[in-house]
Amino acid sequence: MQNAQNAPGHAGSFQVDVQTIRKKARQGLEEGAVTDGYRADRETVLRLLNEALATEIVCVLRYKRHFFMARGMNAEPVAAEFAEHAAQEQEHADRLAERIVQLGGAPNLNPEGITRRSHSEYVEAGSLEDMIKENLVAERIAIDSYRQMVDYIGDKDPTTRRLLEEILAVEEEHADDLSDFLA
């Protein structure tokens, strides 16, 4: 079977070494999705993903508290935004935990260390405006953290990079939503 690059009139000579791939696929089955072709430092990636997981959990908790504590004339739309963000942060946490398992790790959900591993802080805040500001600060921290992780991973783990980029895009939307409330 010829691939498009080896078709007549095509100047490439790339071919997939199917026999070697098949042979290697039978070795190290306990590694699951992680094959010999995985080029990142798996322990570092797992640590980063567990830090991101802790960050997302702290964000869920902060947004949930702010949702329930939002009071005042303009509280309803802000509280609704907090609830939406909490749900999206929970989805991020779930996706990060799934990726950790795919890479042969274990999601660290121990409550004792979550705030220590989290990049953002859990700040209760008193007023609606302070809640918005604290959530915006946390989103900005998440944005920079995810950017640094994406840069570190580069092309060594495209699946993890894509996951982090998708989460990053949502975090940027969250920051934009929150900054609109302050405008």
**171 known member of a binding site:** yes
**174 known member of a binding site:** yes
**56 known member of a binding site:** yes
**10 known member of a binding site:** no
What secondary structure does DSSP assign to 86-152, as a single string? HHHHHHHHHHHHHHHHHTT------HHHHHHH-SS-----SSHHHHHHHHHHHHHHHHHHHHHHHHH
Round to whole Å and give the CA distance between 160 and 104: 13
Contacts of residue 170, defined as CB under 8 A and 6 or more positions apart, other chains included, come to 88, 92
**31 known member of a binding site:** no
3-state secondary structure of 165: helix
Binding residues for Fe cation, as ranges, are 56, 92, 139, 171, 174
Binding residues, as ranges, are 56, 92, 139, 171, 174
